[in-house]
Structure 1
C-alpha cells in the first residue's frame, strides 16, 4: 500500500493542505519497501488529491482535512485517515502493524479557505 503522510518537520502536519511536505511510504507485508519526502505542490482547491492520485497513493494520513478534500480523495478511491498526531516514523510503525487509528479532523470546517477564520488560522488543539 502506498501512503502519503502530511509532514511538517518530523511530525504529522495538522493541516494537510498547508503542510510543507508529504512523506510517501510503500508498505508491503508489514515492511517499508520505500520512503521519500516530496514537496507539497501547492494548496489549490482539488489539486493535491489529483497530484497524490497520480503518484499512486492509496491512503492519506493527516491531522486535519476539510470535508471537500475528503470527498475528492474518496472519489479517487484514496482512503483518508484524519485526526492523527505524532512523529511520522511512529505513524509509519503503526501503519506497518495495522494499528493506526484516526479520529476527528483537527481543523475547524472552512479554516483552509478562510470561512470565519483567517487562511493561516486553524483550530489545532495544542
Structure 2
C-alpha cells in the first residue's frame, strides 16, 4: 500500500495541505516502509494567477465549490496511486475532495513523518478533524 504525507522537507508533516510543496510517498509492505519517494505537489502558489490567495479570506463556502474541487483534483493527481494522505491541517473542502477521490485523508497532530507513519501502521493514528479549517 502507498501512503502520501504532505511535507516541506521530507522529515516533518506540513501543517497546511494547500501550501506544502511536496508529497513524501511511502510504500508499506508487511508493516514496514519499503520505499520513499518525494513528489512535487501543486499548491496555492500555482493557482495564485487565478486569485490572490495570500489576501483572500476564508468564508463558510471556502474550498467546497466545484472550482475548488477541481484544484484539489489537480493537487491529488501526483498521489492517485495512494490510499491514504497524512497532513497536519487542511481545509474541509480539500478533505472532502480527497475522500471523493478515494484517498483517505488523516489529519494528525504529529509532526514527525516516521512516528506518524508507524502510528498509522499500528492502527493508532487518530484523525483530528478538529484541525480542519
- TM exceeds 0.5? yes
**1:50 maps to 2:73:** no
Could you tell me the TM-score, scaled by structure 1's length? 0.73
Query: Are 1:83 and 1:105, in contact at CA under 8 Å, matched by a contact in 2?
Result: no
Deviations 1:72-122 (A, max 9, x none): 111111101013322112112222322222213535x3xxxxxxxxxxxxx
Where 2:131 maps in the other structure, the secondary structure is coil
Alignment-derived partner of residue 119 in structure 1 = none
Alignment-derived partner of residue 92 in structure 1 = 117
Unaligned runs of 5+ in 2: 48-70
In 1, Cα distance between equivalents of 2:78 and 2:21: 15
In 2, Cα distance between equivalents of 1:20 and 1:106: 20
In 1, Cα distance between equivalents of 2:116 and 2:20: 16
Aligned residues: 106
Paired residue for 2:104, among 79, 98, 123? 79
Alignment-derived partner of residue 116 in structure 1 = none
In 1, Cα distance between equivalents of 2:36 and 2:8: 16
In 1, Cα distance between equivalents of 2:17 and 2:23: 9
Alignment-derived partner of residue 2 in structure 2 = 2
Deviations 1:20-46 (A, max 9, x none): 221101112211121112222333422
Computed over aligned residues only, the root mean square deviation of the Cα atoms, in angstroms, reads 1.8
Where 2:15 maps in the other structure, the secondary structure is coil
Query: Are 1:2 and 1:26, in contact at CA under 8 Å, matched by a contact in 2?
Result: yes
Unaligned runs of 5+ in 1: 110-126
Task: Name which one, 1 or 2, has greater alpha-carbon Rg.
Answer: 2
Could you tell me the TM-score, scaled by structure 2's length? 0.70
- Hey, which of these two has a bigger chunk of helix by percent? 2
